[in-house]
Structure 1
Amino acid sequence: MIEQANRLDQVKEYYFSTKLMEVRAMAAAGKDIINLGIGSPDLAPPPKVVSALNEALINTGAHQYQPYRGTADFRYAIAEFYQNHYGVSLDAQSEVLPLMGSKEGILHISMAFLNEGDEVLIPDPGYPTYSSVTELVGGKTVFYDLKAEENWLPDLEDLGKKDLSKVKLMWVNYPHMPTGASADEKLFEELVAFARKHKILIVNDNPYSFILNDNPQSILKAEGAKEVVIELNSLSKTFNMAGWRIGMLCGSEKNLNTVLKVKTNMDSGMFYPLQAGAAVALRMDGNWFAEQNVIYQQRKDKILELAASLDCQVEKEQTGLFLWAKVPKGTDSETFVEFVLKKYHIFIAPGFIFGKNGQGYIRFSLCAPEEIIEKAIKRIKE
C-alpha cells in the first residue's frame, strides 16, 4: 500500500465536503432537507455579465491559453473597481493579479512566503482553509482570539506582547466570516503599523464587503499598506459568480511577483470568456449592490425570525452573507446542529468548525429564497 504524504497527517477533509454527503444521503432517502449552511449564492449574476461571457466564446483566440497575469482589460477593470469603490489606486500592470478564486490565492500565498516551521497568525473563529493550508505547506498555526465582548476584533496590544519572532504571515478577514463583524479605518491603520513593527506580511481576505454593508473598505487604503499587506478579493459573493472561480490579489509589485512564481507553475491562465464577463461585472454601478442588498435584507429579517424560533441569540448588526447566532444555554454547536437536522431536517453550519471560539454558535446562510426560510420557520413552530 502507498502511504499518504506526511503533510496530510494534520489535515482533515473540509467539513462541508463530508457533511454535505450526509445531507445529500438524507435527501436521497426522501427527507426534505432545507440547507441553510452553505454560502453559495443562489441568485443569478448580472445579465450583462452572462451576455459578455457568451459573446466572448466566439472571440478569436478565446479557447487558447491566456496570459498568466490575466488579460489587460480584466486587470484594468480590477483597478477601476478598487478606485471607484474603495478609493484605492492600483497599477493595473503590476499591483493586480487575477486568480481562479480567492481560495486558490490562500494556497499560492502560503507556498510563496512560508518555509517549513514558519508561524502564521490565524483568527479564531475564522475560515478553516487558513489553518489547513498552513499545515499543508509545513507552517505552524498560531491562533489569535476574536471574542464577542471585543466585537470579534483582534487585540493587537495583547498580541504584540507575545513572541512573534517566527511569525511570517497574519490572516485577517473583514468583513469577518463567520461573525459578520466589520473593521474600521482605525483598525486597518493599526494592523499596518503592527505588520511593520513585527515584520509580518498581513493578508486581508475581503470577499464580503458589499453584502449588507453601506461602507465597503479595503485595508489597502491605509497609508503604507501596500508594503506590508496584500488583499484577496472575489467575485463569488459580490456578483453571484461562485462557480466561475474568479478572484484577485492586490498589493505591491514585489509581493505579487513572489506569488506569481507559484501561480505560473500551477495553472496556464484563466478561460478568456470568464475574464470578459468578470470585467463587465467589476464595472457595474452601485445600483447592482443596492438591489442585491434589498433581497439579502429581506432574507436576513426572516433568518432573524428563524433564529428566534430556535431560541438563539443574534447580534443584528452583522454584515456579509451569513448570520452568526448563539445557541441556547445547555447545549453546544455540534449537538444543536445535529438536533435541528434530525428533528426539523434543516442544516445549519456549527460554529466549532471555525475554531474553539466558535463553540456555542451557529452560522445561518442567506443563500436561500424567503419562501424556503419561511418553510423552515413553519416547521419549527408547528
Structure 2
Amino acid sequence: MIEVAKRLQNVEEYYFSKKLREVALLKAQGKPIINLGIGSPDLEPPFKASMALQDSLVDEKAHQYQSYQGLPELREEISNFYKRHYTVDLSSQTEVLPLMGSKEGIMHISMAFLNKGDKVLIPNPGYPTYASVTKLLEAKPIYYDLKEKNNWQPDFKALERLDLRRVKIMWINYPHMPTGRNADNKFYDKIIAFGKRHNILIVNDNPYSFILNEKPISIFRYKDAKHVCLELNSLSKTFNMAGWRVGMLVGNYDFVSAVLRVKSNMDSGMFYGIQKGAIEALKCSDMWFQSLNSVYQTRRDLIWQLADNLNCTYDKDATGLFVWAKLPPHIKSEEFTDMVLKEHSIFITPGTVFGSNGEGYVRFSLCADATIIKEAIARV
C-alpha cells in the first residue's frame, strides 16, 4: 500500500464535494431534492461574453498556449473595471494578474509567501479553503473570531493579544461570506495599519461586492493598502461565470510578481476564448448589475419567507449571494439541516461548515429560480 503524503492527514475532502454526492444519491433514489446550499449562479452570463468566446474559436492563436499573465487587453480591462467601479488606479502591466478562478489564487498566494511552520490568520466563520490550503502547505492556521455582536468584524484588541510571531498572511473577506456583512471605512484603515505594524500580508477576498450591494469597495481605496495588501476578485458571481474559472489578483508589483513565479510553474495560461469572453463581461454597463440584482432581490425576499417559516432570524442589511440565518436557541446547525433534508428534501448549508462560530446558524443560497424557492416554501 502506497501511503499518501502526511500533509493530507489534517485535510478532509471539501464539505460540498462530499455532501453533493449524498444529495445526488438521494436524487437517484427518486427524492425531489431542492438545492439551496451551493452558491453556483444559475443565471446566464452576459450575451456578449458568450459570443466573444464562440467567435474566438476561429482566431489564429486561439488554441495555442497563452501567456501566464493573460492577454494584455484582459489585464487592461481589469484595470479599467477597478477604475470605473472602485475608483482605484492599477497598472495593467505590473499590478494585475488574471487567474483561473480566485480559488487558485488562494493556493498560489499561500505557496508564494508561506514556509513550513509559518502562521496564517483565518476568519471564523470563513471560507474553508483558507484553512485547507494553509494545512496543505504545513503552515499553521490561527483562527480569529467573527461574531454577530461585533457585526462579524474582528476584535482588534483580541488580535493584538495573539502571538503574532511567524504570522505571514491574514485572510479577510468583505462583503463577508457566509454572513453577508460589509466592513466600514474604519475597519479598512485599522486592518491596513495592523498589517503594517506586524509585517503581515493582508489578503482581501472580494468576489461578492456587486451582489445586492449598493457600494462596492476595494481595499485599495484606502491609504497605504498597496504596502501590505493583495486583493482577489472573480467573475464567477458578478457575471454568472463560475464554470469559466476567471479570477484576478491585484496589488503591488513585488507581491503580484511573487505569485506569478508560482503560477507560471503550475499552469500554461488561461484558454484564449475564455479570456476574450471575460474582456466583454468586464465591459458591462451598470444596467447589467441592476438587472442581476433585481432577480436576486426577488429571490432573497422569498428566502426570507422560507427562513421565517423555519423559525430562523436574519439580517436584512446583509449583502451577497446568501442569506445567513440564526436558528432558534439550543438547536444544532447540522442536526437542523439534516432534518430539513430528511423531512422536506431541501438541502441548506449548516453554519459549522465555515467554523465553530457558525454553530447555531444556517446558510441559504440565492442560486435557485423563484419557482423553486416557492416550492421549498410550500413544502415547509
Short-chain TM bin: over 0.9
Matched, 1:315 2:320: no
CA distance in 2, matches of 1:284, 1:331: 44
Unmatched segments (≥5 aa) in structure 2: none
CA distance in 2, matches of 1:336, 1:119: 34
CA distance in 1, matches of 2:43, 2:207: 16
Unmatched segments (≥5 aa) in structure 1: none
Matched to 1:72, the amino acid is P
Moved more, 185-194 or 133-142: 185-194
> Helix, strand or coil: the match of 1:249?
strand
How far off is 1:376 after superposition? 0.3
What's the TM-score once normalised by structure 1's chain length?
A: 0.99
Give the equivalent residue in structure 1 for 2:156.
Answer: 156
- The correspondence of residues 266-281 of structure 1 with structure 2, limited to 5 A, is 266-281=266-281
- The correspondence of residues 23-34 of structure 1 with structure 2, limited to 5 A, is 23-34=23-34
Moved more, 50-59 or 124-133: 50-59
Moved more, 156-165 or 83-92: 156-165
Matched, 1:36 2:36: yes
- The correspondence of residues 164-183 of structure 1 with structure 2, limited to 5 A, is 164-183=164-183
CA distance in 1, matches of 2:170, 2:329: 33
How far off is 1:328 after superposition? 2.1
Give the equivalent residue in structure 1 for 2:328.
Answer: 328
CA distance in 1, matches of 2:100, 2:144: 29
Give the equivalent residue in structure 2 for 1:16.
Answer: 16
Contact 1:212-1:319 at 8 Å conserved across structures: yes
Matched, 1:61 2:61: yes
CA distance in 2, matches of 1:42, 1:77: 25
> Helix, strand or coil: the match of 1:163?
coil
What's the TM-score once normalised by structure 2's chain length?
A: 0.99
Matched to 1:127, the amino acid is Y
> Helix, strand or coil: the match of 2:232?
strand
CA RMSD of aligned residues (A): 0.6
Give the equivalent residue in structure 2 for 1:340.
Answer: 340
> Helix, strand or coil: the match of 1:9?
helix
- The correspondence of residues 1-382 of structure 1 with structure 2, limited to 5 A, is 1-380=1-380
Matched to 1:235, the amino acid is L
Matched to 1:18, the amino acid is K
Contact 1:100-1:247 at 8 Å conserved across structures: yes
Matched to 1:65, the amino acid is Y
CA distance in 2, matches of 1:158, 1:372: 43
Deviations 1:306-361, CA, capped at 9 Å, x for gaps:
00000011111110000000112231000000000000000000000100000110
CA distance in 2, matches of 1:223, 1:54: 42
Matched to 1:50, the amino acid is S
How far off is 1:185 after superposition? 2.1
> Helix, strand or coil: the match of 2:203?
strand
Q: Which runs of 4+ in 1 moved over 6 A?
A: none
CA distance in 1, matches of 2:275, 2:221: 25
> Helix, strand or coil: the match of 2:107?
helix
How far off is 1:221 after superposition? 1.1
Matched to 2:282, the amino acid is L
How far off is 1:285 after superposition? 1.1
CA distance in 2, matches of 1:186, 1:90: 23
Moved more, 334-343 or 187-196: 187-196
How far off is 1:189 after superposition? 1.4
CA distance in 1, matches of 2:189, 2:63: 43
Contact 1:26-1:33 at 8 Å conserved across structures: yes
Matched to 1:287, the amino acid is M
CA distance in 2, matches of 1:304, 1:311: 10
> Helix, strand or coil: the match of 2:323?
strand
> Helix, strand or coil: the match of 2:52?
helix
CA distance in 1, matches of 2:138, 2:81: 35
Deviations 1:266-305, CA, capped at 9 Å, x for gaps:
0000001100110111111111001100000000000000
CA distance in 2, matches of 1:154, 1:281: 34
Contact 1:185-1:219 at 8 Å conserved across structures: no
Count of residues paired in the alignment: 380
Deviations 1:211-256, CA, capped at 9 Å, x for gaps:
0000000001111101100000000000000000000000010001
> Helix, strand or coil: the match of 1:134?
helix
CA distance in 2, matches of 1:298, 1:165: 47
How far off is 1:165 after superposition? 1.5
CA distance in 1, matches of 2:186, 2:334: 36
Sequence identity (%): 59
Contact 1:211-1:238 at 8 Å conserved across structures: yes
Deviations 1:163-206, CA, capped at 9 Å, x for gaps:
21210000000000000000122211111111000100000000
